[in-house]
Amino acid sequence: MELKGKVALITGAASGIGESTALLFAGEGARLFLTDIDTEKGEELTRKIEQKGGEVVFFKADTSKSEDSERSVAETLKRFGKLDIAINNAGIGGSQHPVGEYPVADWDKVIAVNLSGVFYGMRYQIPAMLNNGNGSIINVASILGSVGFANSAAYVAAKHGVVGLSKSAALEYSAKGIRVNSVGPAFIKTPLLKDLDKDLLSQLVNVHPIGRLGEPQEVAELLLWLASDRATFVTGSYYPIDGGYLAQ
Ligand SMILES: NC(=O)c1ccc[n+]([C@@H]2O[C@H](COP(=O)([O-])OP(=O)(O)OC[C@H]3O[C@@H](n4cnc5c(N)ncnc54)[C@H](O)[C@@H]3O)[C@@H](O)[C@H]2O)c1
């Protein structure tokens, strides 16, 4: 029971990495405030966690809207009285084009969800955690937070931004008890990959030295460690979890 008594807010919790993290955290005794734009899948997950005896709330919130992030934190405090852990995980892949042809509307959308969404999250999570005197924030970036990837400029730029934003927040708040870190998964088997070209997807396996793509549960294990009191000296860091991708 690594997270017994802790209150954790997870964005983009209805699917993939967020869903696996919610299930793992529930099993470790966390009380969960789950947000997503997909109400049906979010409520389905909530029922599953409740059936296992977990304490959980689902709240529909779009990370690209600052008012939704503000409301998410306010509702967390109303329901649970505090906020200990925030996993800013919601993200989209965006369309695939070279920079010179990238649709401006697609760029704006990816930056709004994947980068501004993380800022909006922390903007309201941090004041709540300061009241608490402690907290752990983990922002889900990507390997593409540290290297490029052709035809995915908006995603790559947003994820690089998340890594920098996390480091800045860590400098500002670590001495006040709030640890801020980011993680960098390589390609993980979740619905996020559904729009990728099939040939590209099979080539991608070969660029992971471990010889396969990752599982969302494997990322959840890293998030658990960073969120827990086992990682009390860890802040301002970026943790790839990538089957060796970045070692090449
Ligand atoms: N799957 C991968 O290969 C991979 C690799 C590196 C990083 N990531 C990152 O991990 C995070 C989770 O991705 P995943 O692979 O689990 O994808 P996923 O598509 O399975 O889950 C993402 C969830 O975010 C939700 N979401 C989308 N837009 C939202 C918004 N505006 N507001 C709130 N919720 C929103 C979706 O409804 C979905 O439930 C993302 O930030 C993604 O960029 C994924």
Which token pair is 70? Answer: 């503000």
pTM score: 0.98
Of 18, 8, 136, nearest to 72 by C-alpha is 8
Q: For ligand 1, say whether the CB of 193 is within 6 Å of any of its atoms.
A: yes
Q: How many CB atoms neighbour CB 219 within 10 A?
A: 25
Residue ranges of domains in the chain, CATH in brackets: 7-239 (3.40.50.720)
Who contacts 196 (Cβ-Cβ below 8 Å, separation ≥6)?
A: 93, 96, 204
CA distance 201 to 195: 10
pLDDT values of the chain reduced to their tens digit, one per residue, 248 residues: 999 999 999 999 999 999 999 999 999 999 999 999 999 999 999 999 999 999 999 999 999 999 999 999 999 999 999 999 999 999 999 999 999 999 999 999 999 999 999 999 999 999 999 999 999 999 999 999 999 999 999 999 999 999 999 999 999 999 999 999 999 999 999 999 987 888 888 899 999 999 999 999 999 999 999 999 999 999 999 999 999 999 99
Q: For ligand 1, say whether the CB of 142 is within 6 Å of any of its atoms.
A: yes
Annotated active-site residue 155? The verdict is: yes
CA-proximal residue: ligand 1, atom 41 (nearest): 91
Instruction: Give DSSP secondary structure letters for 119-171.
Output: HHHHHHHHHHHHHHT-EEEEEE--GGGTS--TTBHHHHHHHHHHHHHHHHHHH
